[in-house]
Chains A and B, each alone.
Chain A
Amino acid sequence: MNNSKNGAAPWLFEITPKNKFFSLNLTEVWQYRDLLLLFVKRDIVTVYKQTVLGPLWYFIQPLFTSIIFTIIFNTVAGIATGSVPPFLFNLASITVWNYFSSCLLATSDTFKANAGLFGKVYFPRIIMPLSIVLSNLIKFGLQLLIFIAFYIYFIVSGESLSPNFTLLFFPVLVVLMGLLGLGLGMIISSMVTKYRDLTYLVTFGIQLLMYISAVNYPLALIQEKMPDYSWIIDYNPMAYVIEISRYMLLNTGSFSVCSFLYVGVVTVAVFFIGLLIFNKTEKTFIDTV
C-alpha cells in the first residue's frame, strides 16, 4: 500500500543508458545560464592576463594579418579589389573569417579539452560550445571596432566608401556564421572523442579552407580565372558568407538572395546534425575520450 502511495510522487529525473533520439533540454540550459555567462567572462578575461598589451592583442592579430595579405596578394600577386582599398578589403575578410574559424577550432575541441572537467561534474555539455561561440562573438565585436576605425580613416582621407543598405541584415549573417561554426565544431568534437586523427585534420584543414573561402580575393575572380574548378568555391557556404559580408560592409562584389538562402539552409542543416551527434555523444564520450 505504501508503495502505491509513494509511487504517486513523480521522479524528478531518470538517468538512463542513452539519450532520447533528440532531446535538447532547453530548460536545463536556461537553469545554467549563469554558468554560461561566467564561462564567457572567463574566456574573455583570462586570455591575455599577465601580458603587457592585454586586450590590444585582439586588434594586433587581424591588423598584421591584413597588412601581410595586402602586401602578398594585392601588391605582389596583383589581385584587384575594385574601388575598395585592398587593406580594408582584407581587414573585412579577415575579421569575418576569424570569427568563423575561431568558433570552429575551439568548439571542435570541446570534449577533448574539457575531459577533466566533464569527467568530474555534470552540467549540460552544450554550455561549453555555446560559451565559446559567445565569447568569440564579443571578440568579433571588438575586432569590428578596429575595422570601423579604419573605415572612417579611409573616408576622411578621401576614398569613396559606402556600406550597402543590406548591412541591416549583417547581424543575421553573423548569427548564421556562428551557428555554422558551432554546428561543424560539434560534429567534429563528437568524433574526436573516438578518432583523434581529426584534431590534426582540423588545424591544417581550416587553413586550407580559408583559401577556398574567398578571403583573399573577390569571388568573381576565381570564377573568371578558374571556371573549371570554381564549383569548389561555389558550394562552400563560407565563401558566400565572406563575399556577402564584404558586399554589406564595403559595397563590393556580388550579392544574391539565393546565396544568402543557401547559406541559411546549409547552416540550419549542419547545426541540427551537429546537435544530434553532440547529444548522442555527450553521455558516453567520457569512456572513450
Chain B
Amino acid sequence: MKDIILKAENISKQYRLGQVGTGTISHDLNRWWHKLRGKEDPYLKIGDTNDRSTKGESDYVWALQDINFEVERGEVIGIIGKNGAGKSTLLKILSKVAAPTTGSIKSRGRIASLLEVGTGFHPELTGRENIFLNGAILGMTKKEIAAKLDEIIDFSGCERYIDTPVKRYSSGMTVRLAFAVAAFLEPEILIIDEVLAVGDAEFQKKALGKMQDISRQGGRTVLFVSHNMAAVKSLCTRGIVLEHGKVVFEGGVEKALAFYQKSSEDISNYFIENSQKEIYVKSAEILSDSNNFNSEQSISFKFEVGKNIVFKKNKYLLIRVMDNLEQALFSCEIELNYNKNIYTLDIPSKVLVKGFYKLNCIIYHPAVVQHDVINDCCSFAVTDNVKEFAHLETFDIGKVYIPHNWQ
C-alpha cells in the first residue's frame, strides 16, 4: 500500500515582471473591479510559458504551471532543472514561505525547510544563543534543542568558540554551526535547497553523510534541490525534472539525471565569428554526423584557434573531458603553434564508459593568463559499454577504461 505523505495538486505560481510599484494601484483597482463584477482576473493569462530569454506578451509569467506529484513516506526526492526552471519557487511553496497562485498541497507530516543555512543568525549573539534562536526559527522547541545541544556543538566542531559572538566567526564556521543545527531537526518532511555547496571539502562530505543518515536510518522524507548531480545521485531515490515551470520527467533518479542531461545538452558545436580576445577558440566541433558513439568508435574533435596577437610559445590549448556530473575525467593539452590554426584531437575507442560527456576548452599561458575559456561544448554520448563489461549494465564500473595487464 502506498503511504502518501505529501501531495501536490495543480500547483501554479505567477509572478509579475518588471517593476512592482509602477501602476500597481491601477492594476489593483482594475482587478478589484473585475472581481466585483464576478469576472476573471484580467492579469491571469493562462498559457504563457516561462522562458526568460524570449520576450513574452504579458507582464506576468508562470514560474510554475500545473505541478502534480506525490511523495511516499521515506522517499528521498531530488528536484533538478536549469536555472529558472522553478525549483526554488516550488520549494518556497512547499515550505509555506510563498503561497501558490492556484492549486494546493496536502501533507501528513510536519515540514521543515532549509532554504538557506543560518537563517536568522544574529551576529551579536554567541554561538550557543544562536543555536537556540536558529533551532526555534526552524520549528524546534527549547527543550528539543537543549536535549541535542551537545551533539550539535560536537557536529559543528566549533566548541571552542561557542560562547563567542557569531560575528567573530569565520564564514566557514558560521555555516558549520548553522548546518549542525539543521541536521538535528526532526520533522517528518525535510526540504533542502543547495545547502551542501558550503564549507570545505571535509565538511561537505560530513554533511552529505549526515543527510544520508537522516534519509536512510531516520526514514525521513526528504526533498532535495541541487545542481550537484553527484550529490543528487548518491542521496536520492527518485527524481523530478523541472523545465520552464513544468514537470517534464518523474521517475528513478538515474533516469531523471539522464533525461535532464539530454534535455539540457543540445550545446553541441561551438562557433564564434570574431572576438576581441588575444587568442580565442574560434570553433569546436565533433567530426561526426552524430553525437552518439559506441565504445568501439574513436571520437574526433576539431578546434580552430583565432588570434589577435603575435606569439612564439607558451600558449596552450587544454581540453577537459567532463562527465554529466560536472566532474573532469581527464585532460588533453597541446602547445599552440602561431602558424597553425586547426587542431584535431582523437580520443581512442574503449576509453569512455557508457554515459554523457562534454568538453571544456581553455587557452592559456601557464601561470600568466587564461586567454579564453569555453565551458560546455561538444556534448556527446557513449551508448554502450565494451563487451567484457556488457553484463555490468547497472553496476558502477567507473568512468574510463585503462589498458591493463593481468599476470
Contact = CB atoms under 8 A, between A and B. Distances in A.
Interface residues of A, number: 41
A46 B122 contact: yes
A283 B99 contact: yes
B20 A122 contact: no
A14 interface: yes
Interface in B375-394: none
Nearest to A10: B108
Given A11-B106, A11-B108, A34-B141, A120 B98 contact: no
Nearest to B95: A122
Interface stretch (A15-23, A149-157, A207-215): A15-23
B105 A34 contact: no
B396 interface: no
Contacts, number: 114
B130 to A, nearest CB: 9
Interface string B1-23: 11110000000000110001100
A2 interface: yes
A56 interface: no
A115 B102 CA distance: 23
A5 interface: yes
Interface residues of B, number: 48
Nearest to A2: B1
B139 interface: yes
Interface in A248-289: 283-284, 286-288
10 smallest A-B Cβ distances: which pairs? A122-B96, A35-B136, A283-B99, A15-B105, A34-B142, A11-B106, A46-B124, A120-B119, A49-B124, A120-B115
26 contacts: A6-B4, A9-B108, A11-B107, A11-B108, A12-B108, A12-B109, A13-B107, A15-B93, A15-B96, A15-B105, A15-B106, A38-B142, A42-B125, A49-B165, A118-B97, A120-B113, A120-B116, A121-B115, A121-B120, A123-B137, A194-B20, A194-B24, A195-B25, A283-B98, A284-B98, A286-B98
Given A12-B110, A35-B136, 15 more contacts: A12-B108, A13-B106, A14-B107, A15-B104, A16-B99, A17-B99, A34-B136, A39-B133, A42-B122, A49-B124, A117-B119, A120-B113, A121-B113, A283-B98, A283-B99
